[in-house]
Chain A
Amino acid sequence: MNPPASHLTAALAGNPNAGKTTLFNALTGARQHVGNYPGITVDKKVGVARAGDRRLTVVDLPGTYSLTAYTQEELVARKVLVEERPDVVVDVLNATVLERNLYLAVQLMEMGLPLVLALNMMDEVRAKGMEIDLKRLSELLGVPVVGCTARNSEGVRELVETALDLAEERRGSWRPLHISYGPDLDPVLSEMVCAIEREAFLTATYPPRWLALKYLEGDEEVLALGRAAGPLAATLEAMAAKVADHCQKTLASYPEALIADYRYGFIASVLKQGVILAGVRERIAFSDSLDRVLTHKVLGPVLMFAVLYGVYELTFRLGAYPMDWLGNFFGLLGDGVTALLPEGLLRSLLVSGVIDGVGGVLSFVPLILIIFMLIAFLEDSGYMARIAYMLDRVFRTFGLHGCSVMPFIVSGGIAGGCAVPGVMAARTLRSQREKLATILTAPFMTCGAKLPVFILLVGVFFPDNQAQALFGITLTAWLAALLVAKLLRATIIRGPSTPFVMELPPYRLPTLKGLVIHTWERTWQYIKKAGTVILAISVILWAAMTFPGLSAPEAERYAAARAELAARIEAAPAAARPAMQAELETLVAGEQRDRLQGSLAGRMGTALEKVTALAGFDWRTNIALIGGFAAKEVIVSTLATAYSLGEVEAEASAPLVERLAGDPAWTLARGVSLILFIMLYAPCFVTVLAIRQESGSWKWAAFSLAFNTLLAFALAAGAYQLVLRL
């Protein structure tokens, strides 16, 4: 069945660093839609390209070097090609390193889909003095070839037209290319193809020869598919094993190495036939001299830490202004609603539940916007790959990846970050296990919301060494994150580290368009979440801190006492009023405390007291910690309410410091245990949602809640008991 011409679909394939994303942006402009490929967290981008009144739907495949089953990206790319059978495939190649990039093209040709080669970066080719005969390349390979420069949209229109023409001409038919794999493999390949064709084994989806090649390469996905499809699988596997053995004995090599060798041989023979007319094979000299400084043994790490620190400073300094504006806006909105509505549940719900909740969440948007802009810049410029390269050795010791440094630092590795953009920054990690370990441990860092809580506690327990204590907390957080990552990688996320193979792209100046599109799509995903799930959870938390509250007789008693006191103030002479006013405030604060204790969270806090006593927490602390799940700075205000101090701002907690410092129940043991607990326990729910988004499953989000809290409690209790006995 051929879809109508207006609904032709193209898949955009290509190596990482071939400029695929830039070309996708040039093809589709802002008309793109970002989603996820089912089950994994590789972005799936779809957009529409136009040429005159013809339209081409473009699906951006993840960047891959080949079509084996080695990485998630490769599996996804292959799945789209085979299952969605696009009308045409556009393979984006970095024309300056044509040989390597043609490797994927050859594999696509072996599958036989209608293929157009887009030779990107033609401007760099010209700058290097290279000359490529596109017509000759097209003749030799038998596929259309279009030269283009995605950065300035050169050749993009021609590319769309060529792709549309080919799609209309081929009407979905596949024409696999046959390459000779030499005397050792060709005979067995023919034999396998014969057997596959005879039994029509999986031929509805795969070309026979391609299937046979995958058997020789030992492709795990194809092997599994084959076993499910029929008994021929066993025969094919036996044939492949025999060939492998033969290759080992006679050539001391492997079938997959031979296959790759012949593919490269095929490419070399094509290129030699007058495709590259004049060529300098060296890389851009500028990039090399830059690398001499940026990845220098001593200077490299120093500059890297400067850059990381710069990213952090820029994000939180620049972000502070719009965050303030947003905070003020939502504050005004809350005040407005407070003034308009009568006191009661509806007002409380709107102000404390909806406005505070969504406002709090949206106030992260500036941070996310800036951090993604900077990360996009580091990624697109090629520096991110160097960071991973320089730090890989250190982080690998803990089962992590060089790229883990960014999430850690942004989450608060330098105190005052935020775990929400931090967790989202883990997107640069391509290997699943390392990414999970990073996402789960990054929230241990001292984020900007935990900072006021720590400042409060440090003020109470270490009044003379506040700075040193805060620094110690930051170091402890790093230590905890790295050790727990190591623990997770040795247990639940066990498995060998994904072998580190990566290409270092030459340095390039990112395009503004690319940065903007990149940043916007990630931020928008976050905002959409804020409108739905986050609003719901915020309301639930509000309800837990409000209901059922005071019993009716108690509420009446307080109301009567307040009314009576108010009447007395009214009647009293002016000189006596301040004292009575203070009395009223104490009364109101007491009512708030009792209401909090009567709420669901309060009851939970009281019920948990028996257990949490092990770590030295009483019901007041428990409620505050439950409230901290909404946002960590809430711990301060909730503690204040629980201590009947009325309204206390997180940033101005002096009265609370005095109150706690004077309380004999607040021993040093409790202080140490509480600091440890707050450092490690369940991330705030916005972070939990970010974890869900980045890990691709609720399972890991739930795990971070349960595991972090249990771990935090175990360590806090241990520390409490230890300090008590000292």
Chain B
Amino acid sequence: MFSSAVRCLRGEKSMTAKPLTSYPKGSKVTIKNYCAGQQARCRLCAMGLTPGTLVEVASGGSGPCRLRVRGADMILGQGLADKVLACPCHEPPEE
């Protein structure tokens, strides 16, 4: 548990990926990674938020995060959206 959190933080630094909640309305971003537990990760994937997916942030500021993903409007609670790390999509992928 602990080690994955550390890794997660390290990952955040190295990839300049920021939580979804830190992007303003209208940003187009690419999902990079998650800091969430396995269950939540499975859920996010099932909803189409796999790493590499292009999403558009449709709401800014605090509160639940509204996204446009694969043709649908999705709402992520703030807690969860904080744990989804994304890069602005004009940056080249860092795989």
Which residues of A come within 8 Å of B, CB atoms? 65-66, 68-70, 96-97, 99-100, 103, 217-218, 220, 248, 251-254, 256-257, 259-261, 264, 281, 283, 291, 385, 388-389, 392-393, 396, 497, 499-506
Cβ distance A499 to chain B, nearest Cβ, rounded Å: 4
On whether the beta carbons of B51 and A261 are closer than 8 Å, the reply is: yes
B63 interface residue, CB < 8 Å from A?
yes
How many angstroms between the C-alpha atoms of A264 and B48 in the bound complex? 8
B32 to chain A, nearest CB (A): 9
The verdict on A503 contacting B38 (CB below 8 Å), with A97-B71, A392-B77, A393-B78 known, is no
Which B-chain residue is minimally distant from A220 (CB atoms)?
Answer: B39
A100 touches B43 (CB 8 A): no
Given contacts A392-B75, A499-B77, 16 further A-B contacts (CB under 8 A): A66-B42, A68-B39, A69-B39, A251-B95, A253-B33, A256-B38, A257-B41, A259-B45, A260-B50, A389-B75, A393-B78, A497-B77, A500-B77, A501-B44, A503-B73, A504-B72
A70's partner among B43, B75, B77, B79 (CB-CB below 8 A) is: B43
Q: A499-B40, A499-B79, A504-B66 given as contacts; is B45 within 8 A of A257 (CB)?
A: yes
Taking a contact as CB atoms under 8 Å apart, the answer to whether B33 and A68 are in contact is no
Once the chains bind, are B63 and A500 in contact (CB under 8 Å)?
no
**In the complex, what residue of chain A is closest to B60 when comparing beta carbons?**
A297
Q: How many residue-residue contacts, CB under 8 A, span A and B?
A: 124
Of residues 1 to 50 in B, which have CB atoms within 8 Å of A's CB atoms? 4, 7, 11, 15, 33-34, 36, 38-48, 50
- Name B's interface SS: mixed
The docked-state distance in angstroms from the alpha carbon of A283 to that of B67 is 13
Which residues of chain B come closer than 8 Å to A248, judged between CB atoms? 4, 7
The 3 A-B residue pairs whose C-beta atoms are closest, nearest first, are: A500-B77, A260-B45, A66-B46
Does B88 have its Cβ within 8 Å of any Cβ on chain A? no
Interface flags for B57-81 (1: CB within 8 Å of A; 0: not) read 0000011101000111111111110
**Band of interface residues on B:** 35 or more
Q: Is the CB of A501 within 8 A of B71?
A: no
Query: Are A68 and B43 within 8 A (Cβ)?
Result: yes
Do A500 and B75 have beta carbons less than 8 Å apart?
A: yes
Q: A68-B46, A257-B51, A261-B50 given as contacts; is B75 within 8 A of A502 (CB)? A: yes
Task: Give me the interface of B with A, judged by CB distance under 8 Å.
Answer: 4, 7, 11, 15, 33-34, 36, 38-48, 50-53, 62-64, 66, 70-80, 95
Which residues of A have CB within 8 Å of B66? 389, 504
Q: Which chain A residue shows the least CB distance to B39?
A: A70
A252 to B15, CA, bound (A): 11
Verify A70–B42 contact, CB threshold 8 A.
Answer: yes
Query: Which of A96, A99, A253 touches B51 (beta carbons < 8 Å)?
Result: A253
Alpha-carbon distance A282/B79, docked complex (angstroms): 28
Of B11, B33, B45, B76, most buried by chain A (CB within 10 Å of CB) is B45
7 contacts between A and B (CB under 8 A): A68-B42, A68-B43, A97-B70, A97-B71, A257-B34, A257-B45, A291-B73
In the complex, which residues of chain B have a beta carbon less than 8 angstroms from the beta carbon of A218?
38-39, 42
Q: Which residues of B contact A252 (CB under 8 A)?
A: 11, 15, 33
Which residues of the partner chain B approach A500 to less than 8 Å between Cβ atoms? 64, 75-77, 79-80
Q: Which A residue's beta carbon lies closest to that of B44?
A: A501
Contacts of B44 in A (CB 8 A): 501
Verify B73–A504 contact, CB threshold 8 A.
yes
In whole angstroms, how far apart are the Cα atoms of A392 and B78 in the complex? 10
A396 to B63 Cα, complex, angstroms: 10
- Inter-chain contact B64/A392, CB cutoff 8 Å: yes
Contact (Cβ within 8 A) B47 A503: yes
The answer to whether A393 touches B76, judged by C-beta atoms less than 8 angstroms apart, is no
Q: A253 to B7: give the CA distance in the assembly, Å.
A: 11
A172→B9 CA distance, assembly (Å): 49
- Count chain A CB atoms within 10 A of each CB in B7, B34, B39 and give the residue with the most: B39
Contact partners of B47 in chain A: CB under 8 A: 65, 501, 503
**In the complex the two chains form, is B62's CB within 8 Å of A260's CB?**
no
User: Shortest CB–CB separation between residue A30 and chain B, in angstroms?
Assistant: 32
Tell me the bound Cα distance from A248 to B33 in angstroms: 11
Give chain A residues whose Cβ lies under 8 Å from the Cβ of B38: 217-218, 254, 256
- CB neighbours (8 Å) of B7 from chain A are 248
Given contacts A99-B71, A248-B7, contact A499 B42 (CB under 8 A): no
CA distance A705 to B46 in the complex (A): 40
Q: How far apart are A576's CB and chain B's nearest CB, in angstroms? A: 77
Bound: A502/B80 CA distance, A: 12
